[in-house]
Structure 1
């Protein structure tokens, strides 16, 4: 890779450093809140500045990913779900990298083919290579006019120092432990050395890491050095035998027919065999059914992708068997959904149970599309799976799952008089808002007043840095401050 440093590169490097400082301020100073949204704003301002006049590819798909990225970043400001907050630490950077690679790739490149993953890694490698070459060029610029022999000597001295530091760190520690007099001697190191602040050094390293990560990636992507051959994805050498596949599908479908008969007997006759209650029966089989459903989906995808269906009769038979498998999966999903609903009636609503419900609804969408794909072969599975998964994940971030949990549990309390206030208290600030609403309706609920007193005392000393600003947090603290606990 030939590289020439021009004035525009130095300006862009400086702007990357500014965004690197913003990243360090956003992520390493306090708990993440509105700071993520501000960082994404600064990052994409830098990106569109560098790529002004650039002809982007896959623009509609790119806009979809970009909107999802902004919504996920805004969730740190709007909601306070710790599960999604932790997950988005990985999801958002991955989506940003994927978005940049997609919109800067060649127009004929198909992102929904496996070979695109190879292209993404090649772009990451190109970014690292760009930074190494850029660093070497900076070194050449800095040593211009210097005696080459003296430069080599100082270079080797610096290398020797870097190698010695970790060894000296261990040796000094051992010697100081072995001899108190030596420890006092080392403790008498001049005061200016002790003034070196480890935190400042760490933050400088973080800023430099972000600076060169942004600089290398955006510079490498705009070069378009790699011309990957994406292919049409249809030249697959590995195939499942059609007869073996048909045999497997027949046997699996036979088992599901028997299971379906049992399910109809349980759920539509109003009786259960054995000594199980509905709640015990629900808890016993929910995850097993969900796992079997995912196995069915995997089998369907493998058959659609790798089975040779050149003979028309075999093709139709496989389509019928796959349709039966999808319909059997619908029965499994219905059974699992009913089991979970019964379990919630008995024990209340939780984050895991609500997410399981939503995931089953998502699987219904996936299976519906897969059923269409069985009979319309030109449709792309991965294309739909990726977009629907992205939309599902984004929607679950936006709708505030914990607020749904609180409202459902309060509704259950109004109907049955049962509620787990300790679980609501374990939720984030949305749970606190629910406890406040619950207290206003029933001040005599055991343990609720003491719980809110403790939360109110915590809110008095809750100093919110600008990075951590969150609407739910502010709302909860305001309502706690105005709450009169009798």
Structure 2
């Protein structure tokens, strides 16, 4: 990779340094809140400034990715869900990298082709390589006007110091532990040595890391590269014999037809066997049914992708068998959905249960499209799966799943008088809003007042840094301060 650094590149490096400082300030100072959204705005402002004369490709899909990224970043400001808080730390950077590589690639590049993964890895390697080349160029620049022999001496001394630091750190700790007099002597070292505290070093290193990462990323993406591995999309694919596939599908479908008959016989009719309660029956088979449904989806996609291209009666038989498999999966999903609903009625609503419900609805959409693909071959599975998965994940970030949980549990409380206040308290600030609503309905609920008092005391001591500013957090703090608990 040839690297040439001009005046504009040095200016851009300074801008990346500013962005690095913003990143360190946004992510290392306090809990992430509005800071993620502000950093995302700054990052893309710098990117579009750098690429202001660049001709982007895949713009329609690129805009969709951009909107989803910004919505996920805004979720740190709008909601306060610990699951998405942790997951988005990895998901958002991955999507940003995917987005930047996509819109800076050539127009003929197919992002929904498996070879695009190879292209992404090539770009990762290019970014890393750029940093090493840039470091060597900086070294050559600093070397100008310096005697070669002196430069080599200082270089070797620097290497020796770097090697000695970790060894000396361990040795000094051991020696100070062994001899108190030696420890007191080191304690008398002038105080200015202590100015360089560990936290400042780590923060400085973080700024430098972000600066070089942003600079290398945006510099390396300037060139639209096509790798031979990406272009070779006409390679012969693995194919499975149609007769073998039909045999497998017949056997699998026979089992599912039998299972469906059993389900309609007693489960969907409202009668159970083996003296099981609805809650026990729901708990017994939910995850097994969901797992089998995912296996069915995998089998269907495998057959559609790798089956021999056949015509006539064999093709129709295979399409019919795949259709039966999809319909059987619909029965499995319905059974799992009903089981989970009954389990929620018996034991209440939790984050995992609501997410499982939403995932099953997502699977219904996936299966409907897969059914169309069985009969309309020109449709692209991966294209639809990726976009629908992205939209599903983005929507789950925005709708505030915990608000649904709290609302459903309070509705259940009004009907049955049962509620787990400690589970609501374990949720984010949305759970506290639920506890406040419950207190307004029944202030004498056992243990509720003590929980809210603890939360109110935390609020009185809590000062929110600007990085952690969150609408839900501010709302809860205001509600708790107004709540008469004394």
In structure 2, the residue corresponding to 1:222 is in which secondary structure?
Answer: coil
Per the alignment, residue 156 of structure 2 pairs with: 156
Superposed, 1:42-441 pairs within 5 Å as 42-228=42-228, 230-231=230-231, 233=233, 235-441=235-441
Q: CA deviation at 1:144?
A: 0.8
In structure 1, the residue corresponding to 2:274 is in which secondary structure?
Answer: coil
1: CA distance between counterparts of 2:309 and 2:262? 34
Q: CA deviation at 1:261?
A: 0.6
In structure 2, the residue corresponding to 1:230 is in which secondary structure?
Answer: helix
Q: CA deviation at 1:431?
A: 0.7
The 8 Å contact of residues 242 and 310 in structure 2, kept in 1 or not, is answered as no
Q: CA deviation at 1:240?
A: 1.9
1: CA distance between counterparts of 2:475 and 2:402? 15
Equivalent residues, number: 486
Question: For structure 1, which segment, 138-147 or 353-362, has the greater mean C-alpha deviation from structure 2 after superposition?
Answer: 138-147
TM-score normalised to the size of structure 1? Answer: 0.98
1: CA distance between counterparts of 2:241 and 2:290? 28
The 8 Å contact of residues 119 and 228 in structure 1, kept in 2 or not, is answered as no
CA deviation digits over 1:303-355, x for unaligned, max 9? Answer: 11111123432222111111100000000000000000100111111111100
2: CA distance between counterparts of 1:357 and 1:430? 20
365 and 13 in structure 1: CA distance in 2 versus 1, 3 angstrom threshold: same
The 8 Å contact of residues 101 and 221 in structure 1, kept in 2 or not, is answered as yes
In structure 2, the residue corresponding to 1:4 is in which secondary structure?
Answer: coil
1: CA distance between counterparts of 2:269 and 2:117? 51
Per the alignment, residue 466 of structure 1 pairs with: 466
2: CA distance between counterparts of 1:331 and 1:201? 59
The 8 Å contact of residues 118 and 230 in structure 2, kept in 1 or not, is answered as no
2: CA distance between counterparts of 1:120 and 1:270? 52
The 8 Å contact of residues 105 and 225 in structure 2, kept in 1 or not, is answered as no
The 8 Å contact of residues 102 and 111 in structure 2, kept in 1 or not, is answered as yes
In structure 2, the residue corresponding to 1:298 is in which secondary structure?
Answer: helix
2: CA distance between counterparts of 1:4 and 1:270? 74
2: CA distance between counterparts of 1:235 and 1:89? 37
Superposed, 1:28-43 pairs within 5 Å as 28-43=28-43
Q: CA deviation at 1:140?
A: 1.1
CA deviation digits over 1:95-143, x for unaligned, max 9? Answer: 0000000000000000011111111111111111111111111111111
1: CA distance between counterparts of 2:194 and 2:450? 48
252 and 414 in structure 1: CA distance in 2 versus 1, 3 angstrom threshold: same
CA deviation digits over 1:430-456, x for unaligned, max 9? Answer: 011111111111112111112111111
2: CA distance between counterparts of 1:268 and 1:47? 56
CA deviation digits over 1:233-291, x for unaligned, max 9? Answer: 46333222222211111111000001001110122332111021011000000000000
TM-score normalised to the size of structure 2? Answer: 0.98
Unaligned runs of 5+ in 1: none
The CA RMSD over aligned residues, in Å, is 1.3
Question: For structure 1, which segment, 160-169 or 70-79, has the greater mean C-alpha deviation from structure 2 after superposition?
Answer: 160-169
1: CA distance between counterparts of 2:190 and 2:456? 48
CA deviation digits over 1:191-250, x for unaligned, max 9? Answer: 222221111111000000000000001000012344455347463332222222111111
Unaligned runs of 5+ in 2: none
